[in-house]
Chain A
Amino acid sequence: MPSSLKHLLFIVAPLIVLLAVLPGVYQNHLLLFNFVIFLVLAQGVNIIYGFTGYLPFGYVGFFGAGAYGFAIMVMHFQTPAVLAVLVGGLVGVALGLLLTPLLRLSGAYFAIANLAASLAVLHFVANPALENITKGPYGVSLTGTFNPNMAYAAAVVVLALTLGAVVFLKNSRFGLALQAVREDAVSASMAGVNVVKMRVIAWLASALVAGLAGGVYAWYVSVFYPDNVFSGDFSIFAIVFALFGGVATICGPIVGVIILYGIYNLIGFTTPQYFQLIYGLLIMGLVLFLPAGLVSLATRRGWHVP
């Protein structure tokens, strides 16, 4: 059996099935939905950071742009929700295209510029002068499309597609070439790889993923403000979850989301006053002792982690 099929059968399929049936047995629908959204976003970060080495501190920009793409389609064009979600994805890609010059930067400079770009998009959308289009800072209310069950199903579909993309990257020569670019762009070009093209493709793919997630999120919550969907927490959480599990793998970001977002909610319900303390210590420990994520515990021993 080719390993890509194995990964689809034994990692992706069980997770998708589990998430599809969980709402029937577990009451907290919103929590499940948030899990799915963070699984998508962590994998989106995985695509751009894990496979090309660009750390997208402003990743939420694509998410928020997708949410507003959805909102504008629904408010002004009365499009069906599913179509609006697709437009949300395209808006993410369009923003990604606009920001491709950032890929000339590297390391911390890229991360900072990307963060600034996401703030610029936030303030653009929240500009009162655009009230006719985006409702500016006053937020949108999309009661017409409100349908949490359908939105949840759409989120699971987006997750399935995203995981499919990561499985492809993990098992294809395309993904291998991306990793080569991450390791050494000059050497990669000497292997015949078109470095700029590869980076742009990965960048737009991760923008698409976040845009779709934003669209689905807007569908699910139906009432939101710019500050909600452009909240830096989305970027930080998605990055931390992906790094905690271990990037450039399929399982790493999944494990990261389940453990860290699980702990986050556990602490949030029981002892919220200790949340930041425990989370901070966890992240410090991670950076100090496990910079390559949880999966490195296994890879260090020579075990292959898909």
Chain B
Amino acid sequence: MSPDNKPILTISKVIKRFGGFHALDGLSFHVVPGEILGLVGPNGSGKTTAINVISGLYAPDGGEVVMDDVSIGGMASHKLVHRGINRTFQVPKPFMSLTVRQNIDVALAYGRASAAPPAMAALLDEYRLAEVADRPAADLNNVQQKTLDLVRALATGPRLLLLDELAAGLNPTELDWIAERIKALARSGIAIIVVEHLMGFIEHITDRVIVMNAGKEIFEGTLAVAVKVPQVIEVFLGGEHAV
């Protein structure tokens, strides 16, 4: 959490077009190891697109994505995973017909974690999946599937973790639990980018937020400051609420 750390990821002036629509329109930000960075903004502001570009699902149409001094924009996802990027999905995407254990096994076997990845048993235990370890992922409830997405990501030993609405749909107890897990991951040195609509959750776990609107950042700093910035209020609530 020391802000003078060298950024693990820097993206500058990134553009992503879908036809004539600019989903990302010159987005720039950076994240340092051990930091939890929140990505907030109204629906359609490009948060998930940003995650998709960083994780290699989309190639950027312009700008630069740099990790460890290497330009990674447009690199295939599995190569990015081997470089230490991983993510969860807004709608969890486990391998439905495989068991929980097999789901994790694939990531352990193919993730090429730079350091030794956590052990299967430890992961199952720590993320409350031990009881369902031998059931197909299709049998899990939504929260368990989300957790499995996270565990699959962790099994590849990521240094940069992108969490796309991990907290949505969790009850308050589960929220507290997952918040503690995310903080612990950051303390272990992982840089974490969190996309979330739950502002309380964002405030609770993030060190810094980027507020996005129409594909670019309009504010960078703590959430407490962000909510006092007229431009941010305007984007979230409409012009007449701005002070």
Contact = CB atoms under 8 A, between A and B. Distances in A.
A179 B95 contact: yes
Nearest to B96: A183
A188 B95 contact: yes
A179 B136 CA distance: 13
Given A176-B106, A186-B77, A192 B112 contact: yes
A177 B105 CA distance: 9
A179 B78 CA distance: 16
Interface in A135-162: none
Contacts of B103: 180
Contacts of A301: none
B110 A195 contact: no
Contact of A191 (B76, B81, B89): B81
A192 B93 contact: no
Given A190-B55, A193-B106, A180 B82 contact: no
Chain A interface, DSSP helix/strand/loop, else mixed = helix
Interface in A184-215: 184, 186-195
Contact of A176 (B55, B94, B102): B102
Contacts of A177: 106, 109-110
Given A190-B87, A190-B152, A179 B97 contact: yes
A173 interface: yes
B86 A179 contact: no
Interface in B147-169: 149, 152-153, 155-156
Contacts of B87: 190
Q: How large is the interface on A (under 10, 10 to 19, 20 to 34, 35 or more residues)?
A: 10 to 19
Contacts, number: 78
Contacts of B78: 189-190, 192-195
Given A191-B156, A194-B78, A183 B97 contact: yes
A187 B156 CA distance: 12
A179 B110 CA distance: 13
Contact of B98 (A180, A189, A190, A193): A180
Interface in A8-31: none
A187 B55 CA distance: 11
A184 B57 CA distance: 13
B38 interface: no
Interface string A163-189: 000000000010011011001101111
B105 A176 contact: yes
B111 interface: yes
B194 interface: no
B124 interface: no
Nearest to B94: A187
Interface in B121-139: none
B25 to A, nearest CB: 25
Contact of A184 (B56, B82, B93, B102): B93
B98 A179 contact: yes
Interface string A195-238: 10000000000000000000000000000000000000000000
A291 to B, nearest CB: 13
A188 B111 CA distance: 10
Given A190-B77, A190-B86, A191-B152, A173 B98 contact: no
B95 A180 contact: yes
Interface string B66-110: 000000000011100110001101000111111000110111011
7 A-B pairs with least C-beta separation: A189-B77, A183-B95, A192-B110, A191-B107, A192-B111, A173-B109, A192-B81
